Structure 1
Amino acid sequence: MLIRVEIERLRPGVFVDSFDGSWLSSPFWRKRFLIQDADAITRLRDADITEVTIDTARGLGPIPLAEPTPVVAEDDILDERTISPSQTPVAEAEPEAAAPRRRVRATKASEVERAAEVVERSKEAVTAMFSEARMGQAIDVDAVEPLVDEIAASVARDPSAMVKVTRLKTKNEYTYLHSVAVCALMINLARHIGLPPEDHRMLGMAGLLHDIGKMSIPEEILDKPGRLTEEEVTIIRAHPEQGHVMLVDSPGVSPIALDVCLHHHERVDGGGYPFGLSGDQLSLHARMGGICDVYDAVTSNRPYKRAWSANDALARMLEWEGHFDEELLYAFIASIGIQPTGGLVRLASNRLGIVIEGNHDEPTAPKVRAFYDIPTQRFVPQQDIDTAVARLSDRILRSEDGGYWFGQNWETVRDAVNRGEMPQTSHDPARPYAATPRQTLATRIRAAGGSR
């Protein structure tokens, strides 16, 4: 189990998984390690590291707390009682007389704050790495592996917090934070579709390095606010190949990172670049990279365009026929928990609804127009629901496929609901709900042995 502890609670035999605080200045920042003696703890303290994440499955637990954790008010206890960042589970058994501890969930605000700290450290490290690449130096993969691990840990705690923080890019930060965001999105998507854990780090690293070739492009072209000339477009489109050249010459770069770097601008219909590959010529990893790259790009403010809302961006991406692997795109949507405008969703009230308006501050809680009762299989009077307000009483449970519920009449139903009218069409009430895109994709991945 991974838990955060203060330096004062470390002891020989504890396995350090990652650092919190100023880990870039640590003498151990390139790898995880087992604390062998008190000297290692002293070196961590001298490096101004105040907290670390330890893995109790690979070493001892921390020194037990001297006193029980203070009891919190009953109103502060949530149904799912998980440890907060300020508390630490004890590996050894407590004395029988000790009072039971109450555990509270880490608040959303604290997760966003922790994600912001990870992003700030990431930005500094990625900026330095990209600057070295611009000067022609080889990429030091070992140096940024702890960075990928921190991002992965943040995604595991709360993927929405990391995505929310990385959306806040300034013009000067875009190139660097875009790489951090794609890293997080790739890890989250890999977790969602059931890829093996050993692939998560390689896909995160691929996301971090996918745009390294942009360091070969003059900044006046990269940040140009107006329309690019044909010559400038040609220069921009060379960045996947330029990045591949940089990474090939760098030791320790995985084949996955090379693949994503070179092919993340290809399309499944063959209309992408640099080689116009299509269909099964594109690996699963390259298809993942293409989706994550485009999503973060179009939801970020750029010198030449304003950001699209997350809900509208996903709706438009779904409309780009032939651009993405459709099943994988639906899996991506499910992984980030954001529903596209116009998408069909199931509500906690067991009704179907259509997303009619996005929520810029909370993309996972849009406005929904409920129109169909699932238990009775009937259209019902429509109700517009702000799911940010009705989160507890009528939240979104998941996305649904209109074709499975209404067959060939789905577009007619959707258009009528969007106009605020009762659909005047029949449908098969016995139509069973079919497997979700995520299930279909997972089955395909397993059949292919984990990747393709």
Structure 2
Amino acid sequence: MTIKTSAARPGMYVHAVEGGWMASPFWRKHLVLASARDVAKLVEAGIGEIVIDTDKGVGPLAPASAPLSVAAAVETAAPAVTSTAPPPRTRRRAASELDRARAVVEQSRAAMLRMFADARMGHAIDHRALAPLVDSITEFVARDQRALLTVTRLRSKDEYTWLHSVAVGALLIGFARHLGLPEDEASDLGLAGLLHDIGKMAVPSAVLEKTGSLDPAELAVVRHHPEKGHALLLGGDVPEVVRDVCLHHHERVDGRGYPFGLAGDRLSLAARMSAVCDVYDAVTSLRPYKRPWAPGDALARMQSWHGHFDQELLGAFIDHIGIHPPGALVRLRSNRLALVLGTGADDPTAPPVRAFFDIPTQSRLPLTEVATDATGDPILGGERGAYWFGLAWDRMRTAVLTANGTDAAPSPRAVGA
């Protein structure tokens, strides 16, 4: 489909541009417009028309004939989403949001475990039973995504599979809104996140929960879970995007993923988005066979995996999550350690944090919420919790995020190390 550049919006898959690739402001011939800034680049380059593929991305909202200024393109390409940048919160309000997040997670427990039980029995999946849960997650993401993601991080190894699905659903809804996708598409992507790993119910528990490396036969079984899940979702009125994400969330843009080894141009926007959200939640979570990475470390490593993700989409995801994502451990200029509580509304480098440990004295501090902008206590960089607190880190992190005290003793470290 050929459209005026003035009708472009984030989430569109650009197949070609007017004047050919040499006229494009992007180095790739085909790409997803991952943000309003990408749309503005097309306008700045003087591209009058683009060819989009609506099978791989979103379509136009409405035809537009008059060219837009760069400022207008940015304004119209990213419709405002209410409540994505809530005002600063008191500790009491933060605690109440965490309580509400726990209620949503508890609601998800029964629904997801029931769905997984049906899948283990080979029963058809009734996705409509998850509609109330999708609505709850969608509503909560609009109000305070960080609280919901914080609670899903506080999981045990045994809870990993179903809570991972809830977290990926929440991440996809938030990511879709960041890209300016319509609410119905964001809701379908949330459902896709909840069901993306439904095929793992066909994998023996001994394999899923194995703490060591998988042998070739076990790895082959695991790599069939996207197809197993897709088969469970066939029939009925399951949205196509849900089947797409289930089948393709382990594919890579360089064609080295599974189960089919599809290359970038053959992967939909939803599949590329889900690959990013799935990996990000997996590597930042406690799994039976691996300890979690710090959120900042995870994003940095994901950026280094050339060929794994759509780089434009990964960049947009990082913009959405923030340079210092919620839950990250950071060192402040005052030489205090703190946990990131959310994203900076005006400055992604200055999120709100909760300080809890003094490095020079190697001692715990009263939990204190701190501003990290230039007038407060700026962040110097990320830190590794396991380095400072050893095996006590997971317990201490949970206590700090939930605003409880902790008796965990830190590992002795050199001052300023």
Structures share fold, TM-score greater than 0.5: yes
Indicate yes or no: 2:297 matched with 1:297. no
Q: Partner letter of residue 260 of structure 1?
A: V
Conservation of the 8 A alpha-carbon contact between 1:309 and 1:358: no
Conservation of the 8 A alpha-carbon contact between 1:160 and 1:336: no
Q: Partner letter of residue 179 of structure 1?
A: S
* Alignment CA distance shift 1:133-1:392 (3 Å): same
Indicate yes or no: 2:91 matched with 1:110. no
* Alignment CA distance shift 1:231-1:363 (3 Å): farther
| Equivalent in 217, 222, 226 of residue 203 of structure 2 | 217
Instruction: Name the structure 1 match of 2:130.
Output: 144
Q: Partner letter of residue 266 of structure 1?
A: E
Q: Partner letter of residue 233 of structure 2?
A: L
* Alignment CA distance shift 1:179-1:395 (3 Å): farther
Pairwise mapping of residues 267-416 of structure 1 onto structure 2 (< 5 A)? 267-339=252-324, 360=339, 362=341, 364=343, 389-391=370-372, 393-394=374-375
* Alignment CA distance shift 1:228-1:396 (3 Å): farther
State how far apart, in whole Å, the 1-side matches of 2:214 and 2:302 are.
Answer: 23
CA deviation profile, 1:280-316 (whole Å, cap 9, x unmatched): 1010000011001000100111111101111111111
Indicate yes or no: 2:143 matched with 1:173. no
Task: Give the Å deviation of 1:339.
Answer: 3.3
Gaps of 5+ in 1: 1-79, 85-103, 341-355, 370-386, 398-452
Pairwise mapping of residues 9-88 of structure 1 onto structure 2 (< 5 A)? none
Instruction: Name the structure 2 match of 1:134.
Output: 120
Conservation of the 8 A alpha-carbon contact between 1:299 and 1:313: yes
Structure number with the bigger relative contact order (C-alpha 8 A, sep ≥ 6) is 2
State how far apart, in whole Å, the 2-side matches of 1:367 and 1:264 are.
Answer: 28
Instruction: Name the structure 1 match of 2:144.
Output: 158
Q: Partner letter of residue 217 of structure 1?
A: V
Task: Give the Å deviation of 1:168.
Answer: 1.1
| Equivalent in 206, 227, 252 of residue 241 of structure 1 | 227
| Equivalent in 189, 202, 208 of residue 175 of structure 2 | 189
State how far apart, in whole Å, the 2-side matches of 1:320 and 1:357 are.
Answer: 32
CA deviation profile, 1:56-80 (whole Å, cap 9, x unmatched): xxxxxxxxxxxxxxxxxxxxxxxx9
CA deviation profile, 1:351-387 (whole Å, cap 9, x unmatched): xxxxx99955547589979xxxxxxxxxxxxxxxxx9
Q: Partner letter of residue 246 of structure 1?
A: L
Task: Give the Å deviation of 1:141.
Answer: 1.2
Task: Give the Å deviation of 1:200.
Answer: 1.1
Task: Give the Å deviation of 1:108.
Answer: 1.9
Q: Partner letter of residue 147 of structure 1?
A: L
Conservation of the 8 A alpha-carbon contact between 2:86 and 2:143: no
State how far apart, in whole Å, the 1-side matches of 2:304 and 2:223 are.
Answer: 23
* Alignment CA distance shift 1:275-1:126 (3 Å): same
Gaps of 5+ in 2: 1-84, 326-334, 351-367, 379-417
State how far apart, in whole Å, the 1-side matches of 2:103 and 2:301 are.
Answer: 32
Q: Which secondary structure does the structure 1 equivalent of 2:259 belong to?
A: coil
Q: Partner letter of residue 330 of structure 1?
A: G
Task: Give the Å deviation of 1:129.
Answer: 0.7
Q: Which secondary structure does the structure 2 equivalent of 1:126 belong to?
A: helix
State how far apart, in whole Å, the 2-side matches of 1:324 and 1:81 are.
Answer: 30
State how far apart, in whole Å, the 1-side matches of 2:166 and 2:108 are.
Answer: 7
Deviates more, 1:271-280 or 1:358-367: 358-367
Instruction: Name the structure 1 match of 2:66.
Output: none
Q: Partner letter of residue 296 of structure 1?
A: D
CA deviation profile, 1:193-247 (whole Å, cap 9, x unmatched): 0011110111000000000000000000011001110010000000001100011
Task: Give the Å deviation of 1:255.
Answer: 0.5
CA deviation profile, 1:251-293 (whole Å, cap 9, x unmatched): 2211000000000000011111111111210100000110010
Instruction: Name the structure 2 match of 1:50.
Output: none
State how far apart, in whole Å, the 1-side matches of 2:155 and 2:118 are.
Answer: 22
Conservation of the 8 A alpha-carbon contact between 1:314 and 1:339: no
TM score, norm. by length of structure 1: 0.55
CA deviation profile, 1:321-365 (whole Å, cap 9, x unmatched): 11111111111112223438xxxxxxxxxxxxxxx9995554758
Q: Partner letter of residue 115 of structure 1?
A: A
Identity within the alignment, % = 55
State how far apart, in whole Å, the 1-side matches of 2:377 and 2:196 are.
Answer: 33
TM score, norm. by length of structure 2: 0.59
* Alignment CA distance shift 1:396-1:261 (3 Å): farther
State how far apart, in whole Å, the 2-side matches of 1:240 and 1:295 are.
Answer: 18
Q: State which structure, 1 or 2, has the greater radius of gyration over its C-alpha atoms.
A: 1
Aligned positions, number: 269
Instruction: Name the structure 1 match of 2:191.
Output: 205
